[in-house]
Structure 1
């Protein structure tokens, strides 16, 4: 095991980032850019929901379907899936031996965040792969079916409540990241001018806060499903955005959140170009 870690440190030390090798670095950046494109499409679909377009699925599955229907879309999705898996591998490497420029608690927090990114990227890559293998079949797992499966387990309500609490904690961490702009510490922006840095900070902050709000609603929905032992109360991103649309602020709040998701998509593109961990 120590030899493997030493080899991983050597690979990381040789590159421009914490990716274990040049190929993973390049593919990971492509995957991160694809992640940004998905968020831009989710923002567009959320705007459609805000303006009353029926059956607009404002989530990753809806974005994947939109890409698939474009010329060359299936090929682009295949490349995106490979890139997302590569980025996940990159983040696992960063969690193991990366973030050499920070120490102590900061390094631990960043390594935990890298694990979370690896999970999120892998989940999207699996969703894309499932879509490609099923050729667009809509028989995927929904938040309601996951909640129903958890509730069917012994102490299912407790387990679902713990899951909801975890989601809310992650949303809180995203809020902290967005407000403190700690994501800038993962980027190499030394060669950029002040205006470019400020633009990246702005879209990054807005994007993280918008995603935190949406994730917080997902956690709330999961919590209510646990409280009432009703899986129909659970919901994913599409349900969360529609819930926001149904608040007193109505579609105006959803437009703001959609703008935040678009900002996060743009941030991902900048992130892909400048990320070092």
Structure 2
């Protein structure tokens, strides 16, 4: 086995990645809880990754737990980046390229989340939707800024649609050791993965839609992150019920992450 493969398959990195996946699941469970509160009367925290980190920081041993989350997500990032470079060796052509690009994308998401957790742990704040609006305003003021914001929105929307597709087609099972899923365990894992990917994909697609709306109207304040997207959904007819359904889906995604940590497949 080569040195690069040794790095990718190292036990310490795999165990760290499992901790990262568990941490990722906890974040989604907290977001789901905040989303339910948002649907039925409001919440003191944003229904977003930064809001979930702040919620965790306020718990006993919160700072310590946040640093565990940071370390786990860093390990998860390294694992995904290594997979993007050396993984899926048994796939051919475009299929291998697609899987490696997906791993690279997940690595970017995890490192951003690790950075958010680190800032929260040090008391620097986690950003949130208000900072995203400020960044959108700066981007809008740049040459061709309106087109750039539109491109960002389109990219986010594509990610959301991809997650919905991945859930409906159950392509996420490529990340699982399905041979290790026995009997009554397999169906709940597949169901939570399907529901979770679809719900998260819908929420992210709405975020992309907000960016596109901001670009179309030349109004940075209409852009925002997950919290703004969920608030927009709440304000629609039957909004609290729709938001509760999304919250249950995000909870399912969190539970799926726990199973993913247990049955993760090295590629």
Alpha-carbon contact 1:48-1:56 (below 8 Å) kept: no
Compute the displacement of 1:101 (Å): 4.2
| From 214, 226, 234, the counterpart of 2:203 | 214
| From 189, 197, 221, the counterpart of 1:200 | 189
| From 247, 251, 261, the counterpart of 2:240 | 251
2:3 aligned residue: 7
1:118-174 deviation digits (Å, cap 9, x = unpaired): 0110010000111122x2646667220110111121110011111111111111111
| From 236, 252, 264, the counterpart of 2:225 | 236
SS of aligned partner of 2:162: helix
1:98-113 aligned within 5 A: 98-113=87-102
1:143 aligned residue: 132
| From 62, 69, 72, the counterpart of 2:61 | 72
Alpha-carbon contact 1:142-1:236 (below 8 Å) kept: no
Compute the displacement of 1:55 (Å): 3.7
Q: Distance in 1 between matches of 2:151 and 2:47?
A: 26
Bigger drift between 138-147 and 225-234 goes to 138-147
Change (3 A) 1:152 1:209: same
Alpha-carbon contact 1:36-1:268 (below 8 Å) kept: yes
Change (3 A) 1:138 1:25: closer
1:263 aligned residue: 252
1:182-231 deviation digits (Å, cap 9, x = unpaired): 11111113122232111111000111111111111100100111111111
Alpha-carbon contact 1:49-1:56 (below 8 Å) kept: no
TM-score (norm 1): 0.91
Q: Distance in 1 between matches of 2:244 and 2:110?
A: 25
- RMSD value over aligned CA atoms? 1.7
Q: Distance in 2 between matches of 1:76 and 1:214?
A: 27
Alpha-carbon contact 1:45-1:57 (below 8 Å) kept: yes
Compute the displacement of 1:116 (Å): 0.8
> What is the number of equivalent residue pairs in this alignment?
265
Q: Any gaps of 5 or more consecutive residues in structure 2?
A: none
| From 76, 80, 84, the counterpart of 2:73 | 84
Q: Distance in 1 between matches of 2:174 and 2:9?
A: 20
Alpha-carbon contact 2:54-2:126 (below 8 Å) kept: no
Q: Any gaps of 5 or more consecutive residues in structure 1?
A: 13-18
1:38-79 deviation digits (Å, cap 9, x = unpaired): 000000000001111354421112211111111111111101
1:120 aligned residue: 109
Q: Distance in 1 between matches of 2:134 and 2:149?
A: 12
Q: Distance in 1 between matches of 2:181 and 2:65?
A: 29
| From 6, 13, 21, the counterpart of 1:24 | 13
